[in-house]
Amino acid sequence: MTDKFGRTISDLRISITDRCNYKCVYCRTGNEGAQYAELPFADYLRMARVAVSQGISKIRLTGGEPLLRNGIVDFVRDLAQLRTPRGAPLDIAVTTNGHLLADLAAPLKAAGLSRVTVSMDAVDAALFARITRVPNGYDKVLAGIRAARAAGLDPVKVNCVLLRGFNEDQIIPFGKFAREEGVVVRFIEFMPLEEDRRWSPEIVVRLEEILAEMARFMPLEAIPLAERVQGAAASGMPDAAQHANSETARRYRFADGIGEIGIIAPVSHPFCGHCSRIRITSDGKLRTCLFSLRDHDLNGILRHGRAASLSDEQVDANLAAFLHAAIERKEERHHIGEPGFMQPSRSMVHIGG
């Protein structure tokens, strides 16, 4: 599937629940719970199957907190049965806060999960609790990361959102953490996607600043494209060159060759020009950009098919046509920081990051 700007759409994120067990200060108000429904797994599976038949080769499960959803292991097993039109298995990933990962990492790997990304915004237990507003989470998340590595979900990626005046002192500690724990730490610039309105350009800790701070610990070198393509191919990525080209993170290794970090810089260095992503929310709405002002009611096509007793083939054809039509209208880019920027119609936790 390609959009009108010539971008190939190969990457689908599915939020399988709107619930979350953390209340991260930069993401949620702390007063509100889930706001949107969950669909039965069979419905997500059907949407995924049709999307894969149209060219999706990577699926990431997210939320809310995806590990809260009972049945996720079976769902991953079902996704792992799907094949691209060329007969290749999918790349299946999960983004999680890691709180429940210690017990689930091995079953998820056995079910066919390819990779896991754990969100973690401090490597200091007290600061971690202040950010998540949950006591004693740090040890659980660390155990989850270690269990994921032990289960063979390598390389485990750890995503950290930096906020000025709050956790920007964690840059070097995270560099050390990446090296000690054998994980890839990726810093994400804070985007205006929170439930309450905290974002300002000043809070964003930008790419150059992160690099300069990390260089005080140890110099970094950018990982060349050829090496990234080779790495993606070696890890079984369905289309390694396309994957390496549309990677969101700028990737660096430490000068002594031990440890990798990445920086995802949607604010200071937007990467919309090679965006390959679409998202399905927990209630079955298709979103073509994190900053979409509207969503597309994919689940409505399923509901209509059932109400009108359409054949399975007809419903699948309708879902496919709907996907193509929505992708045709995919936004060219986001407008963060520009005059007239409008907050999207949902915040990150209710879209699926």
Residue 281 as a binder of ligand SAM (CB under 6 A): the answer is: no
Q: Which of 16, 102, 145, 191 touches ligand SAM by CB under 6 A?
A: 191
Residue 3 as a binder of ligand SAM (CB under 6 A): the answer is: no
Residue 194 as a binder of ligand SAM (CB under 6 A): the answer is: yes
Residue 254 as a binder of ligand SAM (CB under 6 A): the answer is: no
* CB closer to ligand SAM out of 194 and 316: 194
Here's the x/- map for ligand SAM, 141-170, by CB under 6 A: it reads as: ------------------x-x---------
Start-end of H helices in 204-280: 207-217, 225-234, 240-245
Residues 6 to 25 in contact with ligand SAM, rule: CB under 6 A: 20
Choose one: 71-79, 145-153, 183-191, 335-343; the region binding ligand SAM (CB under 6 A).
183-191
* CB closer to ligand SAM out of 28 and 49: 28
Q: Which of 62, 84, 246, 299 touches ligand SAM by CB under 6 A?
A: 62
Q: For residues 204 and 194, give the distance between their C-alpha atoms in angstroms, rounded to a whole number.
A: 13
Residue 353 as a binder of ligand SAM (CB under 6 A): the answer is: yes
Query: From the CB of residue 326, how many other CB atoms can be counted at a distance below 10 Å?
Result: 21
Angle made by CA atoms 103, 13, 102, in degrees to the nearest 5: 10
Residues 117 to 136 in contact with ligand SAM, rule: CB under 6 A: 119
SS3 content of the chain, % helix, strand, coil (to 5): 40, 15, 45
SS (H, E, C) 5-71: CCCECCEEEEECCCCCCCCCCCCCCCCCCCCCCCCCHHHHHHHHHHHHHCCCCEEEEECCCHHHCCC
Residue 267 as a binder of ligand SAM (CB under 6 A): the answer is: no
Choose one: 90-98, 101-109, 209-217, 333-341; the region binding ligand SAM (CB under 6 A).
90-98
Position closest to ligand SAM via CB: 353
Q: For residues 285 and 304, give the distance between their C-alpha atoms in angstroms, rounded to a whole number.
A: 14
Closest contact distance (angstroms) between CB of 206 and ligand SAM is 13
Q: Which two tokens stand for residue 52?
A: 């894969």
DSSP labels, 316-349: HHHHHHHHHHHHHT--S---TTSTT----SS-HH
* CB closer to ligand SAM out of 1 and 148: 148
Count residues binding ligand SAM (CB under 6 A): 20
Residue 65 as a binder of ligand SAM (CB under 6 A): the answer is: yes
Query: From the CB of residue 56, how many other CB atoms can be counted at a distance below 10 Å?
Result: 25
Residue 219 has what DSSP assignment? -
- Burial label for 105, CB within 10 Å (0-12, 13-18, 19+), is buried
Which residues bind to ligand SAM, rule: CB under 6 A? 20, 26-27, 62-63, 65, 95-97, 119, 159, 161, 188, 190-191, 193-194, 348-349, 353
